[in-house]
Chain A
């Protein structure tokens, strides 16, 4: 069975600081992994995804994530936070052959000036 754990319901950073949002997954088969972002009063939109191939995945708005099989992790990073990055971030996993992704509970990113 697949599952996702996002460590930290809230992460607070200063503008210009490194952003690190943690995601660990459980999957019995090679997973597809996703990060979605939700801005206030909007639906979710895809930031980036890992399916196969290169384990370092680059997404929109300067975000990237690295698939580490040995650590069962898919942490999201951005070198320098911007005020506009303040949002809710969701990690999701989908096992091979499964069309029903499992979402984490979300991490709220707060960016201080």
Chain B
């Protein structure tokens, strides 16, 4: 298993440009997450999904959009890039049984985004 893969690894965007960060997992996990990591701030949840066709906002969703058309893929879309979106983005997945507490999260290697 490849686990959680993310592309690209690094990207420079100009203000106002748009892009999609790709995330794929091959573990048949039902839950998927997008986080951003800024120095000294830990991980902030942007969006999450509990299954194909279902997404919900996290703590910092403004300026981002997601979709979940398949179990494997959970792309993150930035429509109008702003310098405040300069960050490292991590995708994660986990498996949860019904209403049980979610189990271990598996993280991708991250995408470094610089908006100038």
Contact = CB atoms under 8 A, between A and B. Distances in A.
Interface residues of A, number: 25
Interface string B41-85: 111010010100000001000000000000000000000000000
Contacts of B102: 32, 94, 98-101
Contact of B108 (A41, A43, A97): A43
Interface of A: 9, 32, 34, 36, 41-46, 49, 51, 90, 94-101, 103-106
A99 B110 contact: no
Contacts of B22: none
A46 B84 CA distance: 29
Contact of B110 (A43, A101, A106): A43
Given A43-B108, A103-B42, 15 more contacts: A9-B40, A32-B101, A36-B105, A41-B110, A44-B92, A44-B105, A46-B104, A97-B100, A97-B101, A98-B101, A100-B45, A103-B43, A105-B42, A106-B40, A106-B42
Contacts, number: 60
A105 B104 contact: no
Given A42-B110, A43-B90, A90-B42, A101 B48 contact: no
Chain B residues touching A, majority SS? loop
A95 B101 contact: yes
A100 B58 contact: yes
A106 B99 CA distance: 28
Contact of A49 (B40, B100, B104): B104
Most buried by A among B43, B58, B104, B108: B43
Contacts of B105: 34, 36, 44, 46, 101
22 contacts: A32-B101, A32-B102, A36-B107, A42-B109, A42-B110, A43-B4, A43-B90, A43-B110, A44-B90, A51-B101, A90-B43, A94-B102, A95-B101, A96-B101, A97-B99, A97-B101, A98-B101, A99-B50, A99-B101, A100-B48, A103-B43, A106-B42
